[in-house]
Structure 1
Amino acid sequence: MKEIKITASATIYNDITELSGEDNLLMQKAIEARQNAYAPYSKFNVGAALLLENSQIVLGNNQENAAYPSGMCAERVAIWNAGATFPGVKIIKLAISASSTISKVDKPVGPCGACRQTLSEFEINQKVPFEVLFMGEVGEIVKTKSLLDLLPFSFDSSYL
């Protein structure tokens, strides 16, 4: 038996004003996308913005459905939109913002497990990591250098 230690690194920013110009712009786009989310059931709005290698920004937001769980998370809406609109174009970074109409979301909200798995496939296939930034409605922002920092022991096509 052997024991291994898994480490991940992240940078924590106090608020959006501490981000670089490019990161701030991308997070503002995620906030705009969040405001257009369709979340009448959960009251939890999420927006995502992807910066692509060709300088395009692709948006996504969560889309709910009365036939729960037929809805879709913002991150998967954005990544599949990017794959459909700009196939083969590398992702540089992803920004995510979440809010609720029930209470203030003042801590960072990272991607769910299903989104982490989907996003990891894109990062692994493009053979270049992409940065991930996430926040709530206000407050701290977490930034990682790679999606795989959020998903140790990831599953990919090499197992199939």
Structure 2
Amino acid sequence: MEKKRIAFDLFVFEHDNELSQNEQKLLHTAEAARENAYAPYSRFKVGAAVLLENGETVIGNNQENASYPSGLCAERVAIFQAGARFPGVAIKAVAISAAAMDHVVDQPAAPCGNCRQAIMEYEQKQQSPITILLKAEKGPIYKCSSMADILPLAFNNSFLGDS
């Protein structure tokens, strides 16, 4: 047996003014997108902002549905919209902002498994990392250098054989 350790560096910022101007702007865009989330069931609003290599920013927010599996997370709304509107343009960063409607969220919420996989697919396709910024309505800001950091054993097309 061999034991391996998988770890990554997580950057923690106490205030958004410690981030670059572009990162601050992207987080503020995600916060604004969060306000328009449709979350009557979970009462948990999430906004996402995707910064593309061409300088464009694409937003998304969670869209719930009474038929629960039919909803979609903010991250995938934004990532898929970026892929549809700007095919072939690399994604540089994704900012994610989360807040609850009935209590204060004071720790960043990381993307769910489906969103991690979707972001990872784009990272693998473009063969360059996507920075992830996470912020709640209060508390610290987390920054990951790549989705591969928080999804180190990702499923990808190499498992599918000749595609």
Determine the structure 1 residue equivalent to 2:145. Answer: 145
Tell me which amino acid in the other structure corresponds to 2:3.
E
Determine the structure 2 residue equivalent to 1:155. Answer: 155
User: Cα offset for 1:138?
Assistant: 1.5
User: Cα offset for 1:5?
Assistant: 1.2
User: Cα offset for 1:88?
Assistant: 0.7
Tell me which amino acid in the other structure corresponds to 2:100.
S
User: Cα offset for 1:30?
Assistant: 0.2
User: Cα offset for 1:130?
Assistant: 1.1
User: Cα offset for 1:15?
Assistant: 2.4
TM-score (norm 2): 0.96
Determine the structure 2 residue equivalent to 1:44. Answer: 44
User: Cα offset for 1:41?
Assistant: 0.8
Determine the structure 2 residue equivalent to 1:5. Answer: 5
Give distance in 2, aligned partners of 1:46 and 1:30: 8
TM-score (norm 1): 0.98
Give distance in 2, aligned partners of 1:126 and 1:63: 27
Runs of 4+ off more than 3 Å:
none
Are the counterparts in 2 of residues 108 and 142 from structure 1 also a CA contact under 8 Å? yes
User: Cα offset for 1:93?
Assistant: 0.5
Determine the structure 2 residue equivalent to 1:99. Answer: 99
User: Cα offset for 1:33?
Assistant: 0.3
Tell me which amino acid in the other structure corresponds to 1:109.
A
Instruction: Please identify, of 37-46 and 11-20, the stretch whose mean Cα deviation from structure 2 is larger.
Output: 11-20
Instruction: Please identify, of 13-22 and 133-142, the stretch whose mean Cα deviation from structure 2 is larger.
Output: 13-22
Q: How does 1:55-134 map to 2 (within 5 A)?
A: 55-134=55-134
Are the counterparts in 2 of residues 99 and 137 from structure 1 also a CA contact under 8 Å? yes
Are the counterparts in 2 of residues 30 and 95 from structure 1 also a CA contact under 8 Å? yes
Give distance in 1, aligned partners of 2:72 and 2:21: 29
Deviations 1:58-103 (A, max 9, x none): 0000000111121000000000000000001000001000001110
Percent identical: 51
